[in-house]
Structure 1
Amino acid sequence: MNNFIDPVGGSAPFCLLEIGYSKVFTTCLLEVTVILLLTILIISGNMVVIFVFHCAPLLSQHTTSAFIQTMAYADLLVGMSCLFPSLSLLHCLQGLDPKLTCQVFGYLVSVLKSVSMMSLACVSVDRYIAITRPLTYASLVTSCRVRCCIVLIWLYSALMFLPSFLGWGKPGYHGDVVEWCALQWRTSPAFTTFIVALLYAPAALTICFTYGNIFKICRQHTREISERQHSTSTYSDKRYAMVLFRITSVFYILWLPYIIYFLLESAGIYHHPAASFLTTWLAISNSFCNCLIYSLSNAAFRKGLKRLCSFCLHCESQIIITLWFYK
């Protein structure tokens, strides 16, 4: 990371928040703390989600689980990619070309975020079909079509942000802890419009439409259940839809400040380094919130988590017994 000259003539570090610089570690301490904390939470949380899915057969019975797992893998890779800004702040990436590094990192993180967002949209469509067409759901949503859809999500996301890697515009602020990313790489109104029109807006409208209709149907079914008191399948669908709705709601709550700032800077209305840092890492924290909300809201997931914990404790006890025996 490069330094710049401050107004009083001394050498000062490049810190977006302009506070929390540690002379002992020669780094922006507050920024390093925030990024490392989120990195640890995102990686550990999504690894738990992935392991639980492999240990809980009940979760795999839902077609939606394929999209949830895709989202978990994408979020896990987001957490692993966050090691780049952490290492950059700790001066462990000296000698790399800043322009190429910023473009590659920005492209990869943007693709992963797009996969996560589009997976949420696919989840909402899957639940919409399951509730509106329960009799033909199995024939409409096959495992082959789900796999094809997941492949298309990755391909579409990779192509969507390819122009940014080729120099059309800046896709986000994830690498702005590197001075070149923050000061030299500018957003483009045309590219921002392109991203909003072909990614953010379609995903948001799809989710609003599907969940709006899902909860309208669920309210109607709830009234029927209260009258008949003999069916539970619809209630289960409602609970599962509520879990996914919470994930989606938190997603847009955390991402809304980032999108607003992205639009404002692209239009030349407002620009501030601290705002770019705070909105960016607030949005990235969604990669941890997804797995947290899912684990706390879904009974099948909690059962799978207990099974995983029991397995780990059993393995640990076996290791301890083995070591004690060989002593």
Structure 2
Amino acid sequence: MLSWALITLGNIAVVLVISSSVSGWSRNSRYLLLSLTGADSAFGLIITPLNLCVSLMKDYSDGPDLLCHIVAFFNATVYSTCMYTLATISLERYIAVFYPLVYCSLMTRRRTLLLIGFAWCFPPVLLVPISVPKGIIEVHFSTASLVCNPSYSTNVGYSVALMCFIFFPCSIVMTYANLCLWFAAKRQRVKMRTVNLGRLHRPNVASRVLIPVMTVYYTCWTPCMATIIYNAVTGHRVPEWLEFVVVWLPTSNGFLNCIFYFWINRSFRRKFYMLFQRLCLTLCPDLAKALGGTDSLQTGIWENNNSVPERSSSVSSTCTLITLADDTSF
């Protein structure tokens, strides 16, 4: 329940901020980050309630039923959509940094929306056999994790196909894009250090952002994928305690994404504080005035109205890595 509350509240705050203009974030960046927020929110708004409902209604003596198959389908769909969205963000960030002059022609609004649509529409098509009782793959209710899971050993070919279409391509795109960005930022940091002759110490922002992003991704998703492969190949299930961990570990990725993609960004924090002050000023004007919120709110509005127009190239929270050595926003 704590994880559900953190994911829900965190993503509500994210939606409130990035639904409007944020300094330094392009329109494409906001579209992709809203898509990621929607996928992360589905963990708390869809996955958790559905599995809780099944755990209360399921007769443990019975085999898998239609409801269990549908819940397993939604579980796998949301997980897959989240991975596709993370890979799309990494791809967009890579294009913005390494091809800034042709970014507008490559990442048009239409293509960005098509990528988002693919991330949301392709997984249900690929995973629809899971929703069919007595179909090509069976589903079992796990008493350890209280989740309906596909029995991947009942169809090894389909299980391997899912891995080849979802986890492996998304992981390759994310790893390649973020490694290239990290090395580019490292080279730029060395150049800046040489120009300044070591007189100014600049934080290694790339390591503080990209490394945690990739570490969290593999920490949350690799155990789950490894368990799927183990079950498909051997036909055996892992111990119950391990099954519980690997099933619910990806859910925490939704909350951690809020931290790494949003909260560590200075522009996001500024916009959130401004919206929070505006809300306090509306609901409790005396309290906001006593806390000095009026002046800071007016300053924030002035800065927002007089800020530089949105740049066409994406400059999302970890995107502008070519100039990252000069960035002190984290």
Please indicate the TM-score interval, normalised by the length of the shorter structure: 0.7 to 0.9
Question: Is 1:296 aligned with 2:263?
Answer: yes
Relative to structure 1, is the Cα distance of residues 312 and 93 closer, same or farther in structure 2, using a 3 angstrom cutoff?
A: farther
- The answer as to whether partners of 1:243 and 1:298 remain within 8 angstroms in 2 is no
Contact preservation (8 Å) 1:56, 1:301 = no
Mapped partners of 1:239, 1:174: distance in 2 = 42
How much is the aligned-residue C-alpha RMSD, in angstroms? 3.4
Name 1:38's counterpart in structure 2. Answer: 3
1:252 partner amino acid: Y
Residue 48 (structure 2) pairs with residue 80 (structure 1): no
Q: Give runs of aligned pairs for residues 42-121 of structure 1, distance below 5 A.
A: 42-58=7-23, 60-61=25-26, 63-81=28-46, 82-89=48-55, 91=56, 99-121=65-87
Match of 2:328 in 1: none
Of 250, 259, 271, 1:283 maps to 250
Match of 2:315 in 1: none
Q: CA deviation at 1:177?
A: 5.3
Identify the match of residue 131 of structure 2 among 165, 180, 189: 165
Question: Is the contact between residue 85 and residue 177 of structure 1 (CA under 8 Å) also seen in structure 2?
Answer: no
Q: Does the CA contact (< 8 Å) of 2:24 and 2:267 recur in 1?
A: yes
| SS of equivalent residue, structure 1 residue 57 | coil
Trace 1:1-327 onto structure 2 (pairs within 5 A).
36-58=1-23, 60-61=25-26, 63-81=28-46, 82-89=48-55, 91=56, 99-166=65-132, 167-169=135-137, 181=148, 188-228=155-195, 239=205, 243=209, 246-267=212-233, 268-318=235-285
User: Separation in 2 of the partners of 1:210 and 1:283?
Assistant: 21
Amino acid at match of 1:147: L
Q: How far did residue 312 of structure 1 move?
A: 2.3
- Does the aligned pair in 2 maintain the 1:294–1:301 contact within 8 Å? no
In 1, distance between residues paired with 2:238 and 2:209? 36
Residues 69, 173 of structure 1: alpha-carbon distance in 2 compared, 3 angstrom cutoff: farther
Partner amino acid for 2:137?
A: G
Preserved contact between residue 182 and residue 206 of structure 2 (Cα < 8 Å): no
Q: Normalized against structure 2, the TM-score is what?
A: 0.73
Query: What residue in structure 1 maps to residue 294 of structure 2?
Result: none
Deviation at 1:305, TM superposition (A): 1.8
Pairwise CA distance, 1:151: 1.0
How many angstroms does 1:250 deviate by? 0.6
Q: 1:110–1:172: 8 Å Cα contact kept in structure 2? A: no
Q: CA–CA distance in 2 between the matches of 1:316 and 1:174?
A: 46
CA contact (8 A) 2:209 2:260 kept: yes
Give the Cα–Cα distance (whole angstroms) in 2 for the partners of residues 174 and 146 of structure 1.
38
CA displacement 1:263-292 (0-9 Å, x = unmatched): 112222443333222211112111111112
Alpha carbons of structure 1 residues 143 and 182: separation in structure 2 relative to 1, 3 Å: closer
Q: Which amino acid aligns with 2:38?
A: Y
Q: Which runs of 5+ in 1 are unaligned?
A: 1-35, 230-234, 322-327
Q: TM-score, normalization: structure 1?
A: 0.73
Q: Is the 8 A contact 2:140 2:151 kept in 1?
A: no
Q: Cα gap change, 1:182/1:204 in structure 2, threshold over 3 Å: closer, same or farther? A: closer
Q: 2:308: which partner in 1?
A: none
Q: 2: CA distance between counterparts of 1:206 and 1:224? A: 27
Amino acid at match of 2:261: Y
In 1, Cα distance between equivalents of 2:149 and 2:103: 48
For residue 55 of structure 1, report the CA deviation from its aligned partner: 4.5
In the comparison of the two structures, how many residue pairs are matched? 277
Q: Is the alpha carbon distance of 1:294 and 1:41 closer, same or farther for their aligned partners in structure 2, counting shifts above 3 Å?
A: same
Q: Residues 221, 60 of structure 1: CA spacing in aligned structure 2 closer, same or farther, 3 A cutoff?
A: closer
TM-superposed CA distance for 1:121, in Å, is 0.8
Structure number with greater CO (CA < 8 Å, separation at least 6) is 2
Contact 2:185 2:206 in 1 (8 A): no
Inter-partner Cα distance in structure 2 for 1:258 and 1:128: 27
Seq. identity, %? 20
Confirm or deny: 8 A CA contact 2:22 2:268 kept in the other structure.
no
Contact 2:262 2:268 in 1 (8 A): yes
Q: Which one-letter code corresponds to 1:300 in the other structure?
A: S
Conservation of the 8 A alpha-carbon contact between 2:140 and 2:149:
no
Any conservation in 1 of the 2:140–2:150 contact (CA below 8 Å)? no
Three-state SS of the structure 2 residue aligned to 1:136 is: helix
